[in-house]
A and B are shown apart, each in its own frame.
Chain A
């Protein structure tokens, strides 16, 4: 194994980039953008390197780093990746890198924008690669500040003002994290009582056999906290407004990866540490997930703003993730993690395309557009690709996630699964309607001045598009990692559970 702290490097290069940017003169736009691009590219390459060098035959946490930090609380600065966190780490960096290019035309407060963006990327990344609960929570809170600032400074006001959107986003995040905090503290104290020493190490906490009542209580808190973050119905209201108000890059990162912290937390912390609690609460999550899948898909049908469609559609897709998590078996959870990855690249691509179109046309109303494929074939390709991924077309990565979730959940929640699968029809309906309306049909002369994607604008399409197709055509490239991680996590649970609840 490498002696270089490879994960720390991956994690802190964007922060380093942010510091460099802060020291640069504010009017040097181009160099600032280059610094942001280079630092995210380096992180992306490092995470690819990590993935390639991860030993799948051994599995488990690798590239582990551990520095004692607050001994009295058992807090370590501890990093490590396994099969679940690796795809999400890669996802963060794919989207981070693309997000920089999606905001290439930013012209005001460039310095602040890119510095905040880089901090945001580090914050998200940190939650996925730490193995310490305290550090996890720390990074989670780090994320909130740049998000708020980016939305109110660079956002756009349509149906709701950007201030409202930013505030809503932040308050929801904070309410979620408040419940989470209560849960974490309770967990810590309970575990200390049983273990006899303080620990914030997730794996150590997972060794403890908590009383059933406590597990239910703590998992319920986490289900609310993480569920809110994952836009679980009916706590999803932040998502469409938030994405609509946020600038492109923030929508990309938020819908693409930040949201996935919720799903990741439910699996890595909730299920891993509190399996019995997860078992008890799971049916509730599964029922609420229908609210996500079907209800949000219906709402998409009546939206008029492109960003709201993707916003609600992301709520809808998260329903599949929730069902996967709630079904509690290897297949379904594999599917849930795959779906998080898949939805991440898809949503980011969608938002990148919308952002690009909005930047040029200054509108996001579907009724304003028509026949854009005449003027902007590449953009149309990007939209179609994102749309086809969204409706779960085989050959794209989303299908792998959906299909695996369906297989995993079908044996557990028959009726819920069938209702959820109707989502594939509704999704096709709203996606094809929307894309048909904006991209195809007679050429509209008023959009003749729009320039097609070119140069740096192509980067998100190429990067995210490649991920979509590679993951879809060769699913084992991603799924083998996920399966190794999820398999070990579940077998660990099975090994410590007495009475064979699983």
Chain B
């Protein structure tokens, strides 16, 4: 048992090896590359299952080992393993989704010229993400945090020939850098104050630390990391653009795993955040706001992937809100169920896009259910789960969040959360009725995707249905038993909350059905009537434009100013000095004219000066 845990470093190591092998040797053989990559992540999955069995059989507990990495007096950053139930759940989620996505990608990417490098990037992502999950200290987590950012950059910009992909990749990296700036400062504060970055050591040290102002500063700085990585307002702008990457990438990285890393970080470092109520309040409000804000944008988007992207933003906000109100278990539970149904939705969208020759506008789809039954029905299952229809997985986790929010006394956030649940159901079924059941028969020439793509869809659909049971009363809240923190309260479920949220979800679906299927309401007319609001939502509240304006005027303006200063002032001074030297030389040379008379005058003048000064000296001495 201990052996399995002690050697669990192979879980991230295998994908990294696959990356190195493909990058160095195998890239000439695309099929072999894919096989190696899938073999690696498959083995990691098997190993994760073994680890999970080991962890859950012995109950809540922590296994930790570390190897020294960067070490000097006063600074120690290890590469370590921290295996507890939280890690085990994350390992399972990441390896399962990564494996399914990679298998699916065989079909989705089959004729892409960059097939081998695609799998290399997938492997480096899997390795980095798994390394992040098993980290036992902040230094290590930061290293892998940045590496998942790199893999995200590489995969968003995978079709680098496209202008938009290149810009989106850049935007993702730089926006994340802004968050990481704060994250890094937070880590530095921890190192300076506590002299360690190790989670266990820190949790001991922080428990007895009393300077609340410092704790608030540090926790807010650390929070900036998750705000960037989990795309919370105001650093959310990169995630919708990240949809430029291949759709399986969106499913894995930008829906299921990497963007959830921020949520995971807050859960992992809950002992820090939890000590300051002010920070928790900020987290809760930020998450709640992002959930609502993103859901409102999702209502009016037309691109199937963007709808899902805003939905991801919104659901991440949900998780963060849960953490903020102290319902860490619920947040992580939703992370897990969301990983399954959201990757299912993205892969389903990918299946559609693949079938329709890269068409992403839902209004140009329609009637797909006849030609693509598996895709359609798995997609519907995913959407039902996301909407929180009982007894699908999303119902249980969403209910836990609403319950936690309600029970902790955040009435405003509870109402907001319920409203978002309604909106979620509406925009998802708007998508489904328009794209899959709409009367537009674009789906005429569509065909169901090959088995290599549909089988992952079916597996994920099964997970989307059943994964929620582990946290439900049916299994006696097994999830909450393992994923928890000292002092957590698990509230007894309230039938009222369950009924309200289910009713809201059903009415959201009904409204979508009424408007987009039955067309009892003319949505085009509605669009015109709501002109201003519609435009505001459609243009994502113009936040991207605002940022672009800021960068153009402030950053680039400063840059031009500095350049001017460097050229004119600094270099001007240097060149001026050079000119002065030359000028003096040019003019003073006339003093050396080679005439004896001139030199005689110099000598004479010199003597006069000397004699006068000597006389002065003598007189002052006498006086």
Contact between chains at A424 and B170 (CB < 8 Å):
no
Chain B nearest Cβ from A285, distance in angstroms: 18
CB pair B146 A393 closer than 8 Å: yes
Chain A min CB distance to B532 (Å) = 34
Comparing B68-76, B101-109, B277-285, B425-433, the segment that makes contact with chain A is B68-76
Q: Which of B156-201 contact A (CB under 8 A)?
A: 157, 160-163, 165-167, 169-170, 173-174, 177-178, 180-181, 184-185, 188-189, 191-192
Asked if residues B177 and A298 are in contact (CB atoms below 8 Å), the reply is no
Q: Mostly helix, strand, loop or mixed at chain B's interface?
A: helix
Asked if A487 CB lies within 8 Å of chain B CBs, one says yes
- Contact (Cβ within 8 A) B160 A440: yes
Chain B: minimal CB distance from A172 (Å): 8
Cβ contacts under 8 Å, B174 to chain A: 425, 428-429, 432
Q: Which residue of B lies closest to A422 (CB)?
A: B181
In the complex, what's the smallest C-beta–C-beta distance from A458 to chain B, in angstroms?
Answer: 13
Q: In the complex, which residues of chain A have a beta carbon less than 8 angstroms from the beta carbon of B178?
A: 425
Known: A394-B147, A395-B147. 8 other contacts (CB 8 A): A298-B562, A301-B556, A403-B77, A406-B184, A429-B555, A436-B157, A436-B167, A440-B169
A443 near B161 (CB under 8 angstroms)?
Answer: yes
Asked whether B147 lies within 8 Å of A331 as measured between CB atoms, the reply is: no
Cross-chain contact B161 with A424 (CB below 8 angstroms):
no
**Inter-chain contact B566/A299, CB cutoff 8 Å:** yes
Bound-complex Cα distance A432 to B191 (A): 30
CB-CB under 8 A from B503, the residues of chain A are none
Known: A301-B556, A404-B75. A442 touches B163 (CB 8 A): yes
Pairs A–B under 8 Å by Cβ, sample size 12: A168-B574, A298-B559, A302-B559, A302-B560, A329-B74, A330-B72, A394-B144, A395-B146, A410-B188, A424-B180, A436-B170, A440-B161
B558-A298 in contact (CB<8A):
yes
State in angstroms the CA–CA spacing of A295 and B558 once bound together. 9
**A382-403 interface bits toward B, Cβ cutoff 8 Å, 1 = contact, 0 = none:** 0000001001011100011001
On chain A, the residues within 8 Å of B233 by CB distance are none
Q: In the assembled complex, which residues on chain B have CB atoms less than 8 Å from the CB atom of A295? A: 562, 566
Whether A441 lies near B160 (C-beta < 8 A) is: yes
Q: Give B177 Cβ to nearest chain A Cβ, in Å.
A: 4
Q: Does A138 contact B (CB under 8 A)?
A: no
Interface on B for A, CB 8 Å cutoff? 68-75, 77, 139, 142-144, 146-147, 150, 157, 160-163, 165-167, 169-170, 173-174, 177-178, 180-181, 184-185, 188-189, 191-192, 555-556, 558-560, 562-563, 566, 570-571, 574, 578
- Residues of the B chain whose Cβ atoms lie less than 8 Å from the Cβ of A403: 70, 77, 139
Query: Nearest Cβ distance between residue A482 and chain B, in whole angstroms?
Result: 9
Are B71 and A407 in contact, CB atoms less than 8 angstroms apart?
no
The answer for the CA separation of A168 and B185 in the assembled complex, in Å, is 39
A105 to chain B, nearest CB (A): 26
B563 partner, pick from A299, A418, A433, A479, beta carbons under 8 A: A299
Assuming the contacts A237-B571, A393-B146, A425-B174, asked whether A373 and B160 have C-beta atoms less than 8 A apart, the reply is yes
Residue of B nearest to A234 (CB): B570
Mask: chain A, 329-347; 1 = CB below 8 Å from B; 0 = not? 1110010000000000000
Q: B556: shortest Cβ distance to chain A, in Å?
A: 6
- Contact partner of A301 among B139, B163, B170, B559, CB < 8 A? B559
Chain A neighbourhood of B144, CB < 8 A: 394
Task: Select from chain A the residue with minimum beta-carbon distance to B150.
Answer: A393
A29 contacts the other chain (Cβ, under 8 Å)?
no
B185 to chain A, nearest CB (A): 6
Chain A residues with CB below 8 A from B562, complex form: 295, 298-299, 302
Task: Tell me how far the C-beta of A9 lies from the nearest C-beta in chain B, rounded to whole angstroms.
Answer: 32
Candidate in A408, A428, A433 with the most chain B CB atoms within 10 angstroms = A428
Chain B CB within 8 A of A456 CB: no
Contact partner of B173 (CB less than 8 A), chosen from A299, A432, A483, is A432
CB pair A424–B181 under 8 Å, yes or no, is: yes
Q: Does A263 sit at the interface, judged by CB under 8 A?
A: no
Q: Which residues of A contact B181 (CB under 8 A)?
A: 421-422, 424-425
Interface contact A410-B192, CB-CB below 8 Å: yes
Q: Which residue of A lies closest to B180 (CB)?
A: A424
- Complex interface: chain A residues within 8 A of B558 (CB): 298
On whether the beta carbons of B142 and A394 are closer than 8 Å, the reply is yes
B-side contacts of A303, CB under 8 Å? 563
Bound CA span A422–B562, Å? 16
Closest beta carbon of chain B to A469's beta carbon, Å: 10
Please measure, in the bound complex, the distance between the C-alpha atom of A335 and the C-alpha atom of B74, giving whole angstroms. 13
Contacts of A417 in B (CB 8 A): 188
What's the least CB distance linking A474 to chain B, in Å?
8
A476 touches B71 (CB 8 A): yes
> Do A331 and B166 touch (CB < 8 A)?
no
Contacts of A299 in B (CB 8 A): 559, 562-563, 566
A371 touches B71 (CB 8 A): no
Kindly provide the distance from the CB of A204 to the nearest chain B CB, expressed in whole angstroms: 27
Q: What are the residues of chain A within 8 A of B77 when measuring CB–CB?
A: 403
> Across the interface, do A301 and B68 meet the contact criterion of CB distance under 8 Å?
no
Q: Are B184 and A421 in contact (CB under 8 A)?
A: yes
